[in-house]
Structure 1
Amino acid sequence: MDRRTYLKSGGGVLVGGLLAGCSGGDSGGEATTTTADTETETETEVTADPTATTETAEATAEPTVPETVVIGSDIPYRPFEYETTSGDLTGFDVDIAAAVFEDQLGIDYEFQPTSFDSIIPSLNNGNFRIIMSAMTINDERDEEVDFSDPYFTAYQTVIVREDSSISARADLEGETVGVQKGTTGAGAATGLQEEFGGDLSINEYDQINGAFQALLNGQVNAVINDNTVNAEFANEQDGVVFLKGDGVAADSDQDAPPYLTLTIESYGIAFREDDDEFLERVNEALATIRENGTYDEVYSEYFAG
């Protein structure tokens, strides 16, 4: 299969036993029988065939490592996952998926486009096996899913129009910012709103491209989003720059980027909470591609430095 193709329709997908573990029914040991003549009910013990039960469980359980793993992802989110002009899927997450699943685990993979604000419920409903979507690991999400070991460090940052009067963090007070729904960028904006006593308006968009377009159109005065995605847009768009200033990265022990950072975050691959064995295998694969230099090769293809 072409590893850069993906599922453009989210419905009706049955891949590698993906949905097999989602069905079930009552498995009680009693049945109720009604006798017409006496109009009374009696309970009769039903003895289950243990062999049949075992076979049924084996048939419905998801394999530890599927033949094809379906990956939920919010697309487009350049440079992590996005379509080329020819319609192929590419990006940092896509190449890391190739290294982990094809090269290390020897299985196929497919990306399934999914709205980010509903991506965790979709995972837990069995619509796909995992999430790879530049997803930040945090306590709130960790209550609903399990995460792999971190595979990327990111920062929440602010971009503005170059001709804007906004030149510092404090200048955001009273302004309107754009964010993507369900993201940690939206959370960072809410934090600023609280810091400013409510004097910050937040416009939410289904995809980050909507927030970027709103910035260009003057519908918002700034966009709060992951640094690498903001950088990709700012580098391609004249008249858009990062908001300068010290932030949480400057206060930490790690090297700080030359712009305002509102948060320090780590991305992880999300799994359903009952998928421990597959998660362990993926963690092993992630460790291997870091050790053998593959991770650095992929990183250098998409990010400078």
Structure 2
Amino acid sequence: MKRRPLILGTAIAAAAVLALSGCASSSDGDNSASGSGYGLVADGTLTVCSEVPYPPFEMEGGDNGSGYTGFDIDLAAAIAKKLDLKLSVQDVGFDGLQSGTTLVAGTCDFGASAMTITDERKANIDFSDPYYDSLQSLLTSTDSGIKSIADLKGKNVGVQQGTTGESYAQENATGATLVQYPGDAELWPALQAGQIDAILQDQPVNLEHEKADDTYKIVEEYDTDESYGFAFAKGEKKELRKAVNDALAELRDSGEYDKIYDSYFTAK
């Protein structure tokens, strides 16, 4: 039930991206190498904030020089390459990132952390064009007796604080006790240890756990019409956000986006 995401907008020619980065001139009239027109945290480097781990979107490892990999990270690396910048990844808490406080603090240029675009978040964050469509899902052990969200009354359900999964559980998991965790790194061990009866969170993340251990399974998926976007500090880095959107469109048109997508989400 994986759906290829749709990126809004049309492809922009590479020359337009270079023209955008030319706000501050260099000796050869092209400042893309330093990114000086984008107001970067570090000259010549695209600094991205992300909560790690959150497989398959964010994980340790990879060969892009940042020390991290995953769908979001690899896509950010491809964008950085388009903009002639190096990639740096900062591991941060998701709650501070989705609230906008981490971005306002200037820790990074934008956030890439499987973040759903919502009206509530738009009050504090500017988003890129959507780059991924997601579902929510319910993961539990095969012997739990839980077959759907209707079976959660009296159960402890793990959710990640500040996420759309938590919001969905609050609205639909009637009679359940919701247990908040900082991230998947705490949710998954809690389920394995029997501290919670189920996890309600993004389907691709729960799917990774189902693949890793066949004593756990996704019993239900929820189409919540969610799309992920890269997050920017409200009212800041407008030129960088435009350049990121242009790069996303170019990656889509060239087929490079599909290659990155397929490496994580296409069934082998």
Per the normalisation by structure 2, the TM-score is: 0.79
1:263 Cα deviation (Å)? 1.9
Counterparts of 1:280 and 1:236 in 2: how far apart (Å)? 38
Equivalent residues in 2 for 1:133-212 (5 A)?
Answer: 133-193=113-173, 196=174, 199-212=175-188
Task: Select the residue among 91, 116, 119 that pairs with 2:94.
Answer: 116
Deviation at 1:158, TM superposition (A): 0.6
| SS of 1:261 mapped into structure 2 | strand
Match of 1:241 among 196, 211, 217: 217
2:237 to 271, 275, 289: 275
1:288 equivalent in alignment to 2:265: no
| 1:82-101 to 2 correspondences below 5 Å | 82-84=59-61, 88-101=67-80
Amino acid at match of 2:75: I
Flag as ranges the 4+ runs of structure 1 deviating above 3 A: 84-88
- Measured against aligned partners, the alpha-carbon deviations of 1:141-176 in whole angstroms (never above 9, x if no partner) come to 101011000000001111110001111221112211
AA paired with 1:218?
G
Gaps of 5+ in 2: 1-35
Given that 2:39 and 2:237 are in contact with CA atoms closer than 8 Å, whether structure 1 keeps it comes out as: no
Q: Offset at 1:83?
A: 1.0
Alpha-carbon distance, 1:63 to partner: 3.5
1:180 is matched by which residue type in structure 2? Q
**CA offset at residue 65 of structure 1?**
5.9
- Unmatched 5+ stretches in structure 1: 1-61, 245-259
Q: How does 1:205-244 map to 2 (within 5 A)?
A: 205-244=181-220
- Assess, with a 3 A threshold, how the Cα gap between structure 1 residues 298 and 234 changes in structure 2: closer, same or farther: same
> How much is the aligned-residue C-alpha RMSD, in angstroms?
1.8
TM-score, with structure 1 as normaliser: 0.70
Question: How far, CA to CA, are the matches of 1:85 and 1:108 in structure 2?
Answer: 15
Larger Rg belongs to: 1
Q: Which moved more, 1:143-152 or 1:117-126?
A: 117-126
**C-alpha contact 1:92 1:299 (8 A) present in aligned 2:** yes
3-state secondary structure, aligned to 2:136:
strand
How high is the sequence identity, in percent, across the aligned residues? Answer: 38
Highest RCO, 1 vs 2 (Cα 8 Å, sep ≥ 6):
2
Q: Deviation per CA, 1:45-103, whole angstroms, max 9, x where unpaired?
A: xxxxxxxxxxxxxxxxx73264212111101111111113999311111110111111x
Shift in Å at residue 180 of structure 1?
A: 1.3
Cα pair 1:180 1:211 within 8 Å, conserved: yes
Distance in 2 (CA, whole Å) between partners of 1:106 and 1:71 is 15
Pick aligned residue for 1:64 from 38, 44, 58: 38
Q: Is the 8 A contact 2:57 2:114 kept in 1?
A: yes
User: Given that residues 149 and 172 in structure 2 are in contact (C-alpha distance below 8 angstroms), is that contact kept between their aligned partners in structure 1?
Assistant: no
